[in-house]
Amino acid sequence: MELNAYPDRLDLNDVHLRMAKERGVKITISTDSHSTTHLRFMQYGVATARRGWIEKKDVINALPVDQFLAALRPRPAATPATPVPNTAKKKSA
């Protein structure tokens, strides 16, 4: 999930971040920058993440590059559930 650090877009608050962490959801912290002057807003994202008990290991874009790239790769799909056969009889026309 993205923690957007732009002041008008601090969508994920500390409570939501803590819930995400408890469920193993990884976070990215970004500023959604459209100008280099927006990069200074990263401090707000980091402060919000800290209030949500987010640690460096929970932030995908703070990982070493090999771990970052591994986190972006799709994970194998879970074994699909066996379909339940339809036992209902169709009425003849």
Tell me if 24 is assigned to some domain.
yes
Domain residues for the domain of 40 are: 2-72
pLDDT tens-place string over residues 19-43: 999 999 989 999 888 889 989 999 9
Tell me if 7 is assigned to some domain.
yes
Tell me if 43 is assigned to some domain.
yes
* 52 DSSP 8-state letter: T
Rounded Cα distance, 76 and 1, in Å = 19
Tell me if 25 is assigned to some domain.
yes
pLDDT tens-place string over residues 3-20: 998 888 767 889 999 999
Tell me if 65 is assigned to some domain.
yes
Task: Please report, rounded to a whole number, the percentage of residues in the chain having pLDDT higher than 70.
Answer: 78
pTM: 0.69
Structurally, the chain folds into a number of domains equal to 1
